[in-house]
Amino acid sequence: MSTQEEDAEIHTLRKQGWTIANIARHTGRDRKTIRAYLAGERQPGVRTAVEPDPFDLIEPYVRQRLVDDHGVWGTTLFDEVQALGYDRSYPTFTR
């Protein structure tokens, strides 16, 4: 992942005629990464998730449950979402 400044430098160097290999050496990035930034396939400061967040599947349930009973204990709610298939730890759930 690069910063806005690195992205600007990459584009500036390319406009100055630098090759992708030279830009990669200069910035310490892989050639494929440089190529992706130049093609607009990646945005600076944004990471793509490798796998979907398991909480996304249970979030609607958790939101509704908290609306229905705003005093529900975290451990009780955790037990309920585990029964729905949530397979992460309690600290991960509460985070």
User: Is residue 2 over pLDDT 70?
Assistant: no
pLDDT value, residue 58: 93
Q: Is position 29 within any domain?
A: yes
Q: Is position 61 within any domain?
A: yes
- In eight-state DSSP terms, residue 2 is -
Q: Is position 60 within any domain?
A: yes
Counting the structural domains of the chain, the total is: 2
- Are the C-beta atoms of residues 24 and 34 closer than 8 Å to each other? yes
Angular region, 86: left φ>0, alpha ψ -120 to 50, beta rest: beta
What is the span of the domain harbouring residue 76?
Answer: 55-94
Q: Is position 59 within any domain?
A: yes
10 Å CB burial of residue 23 (0-12, 13-18, 19+) is buried
Q: Is position 44 within any domain?
A: no
pLDDT value, residue 89: 93
pLDDT band at 7; cut points 50, 70, 90: confident
Instruction: Write out pLDDT tens, residues 17-71.
Output: 999 999 999 989 899 989 998 998 887 777 776 788 888 889 999 999 999 998 9
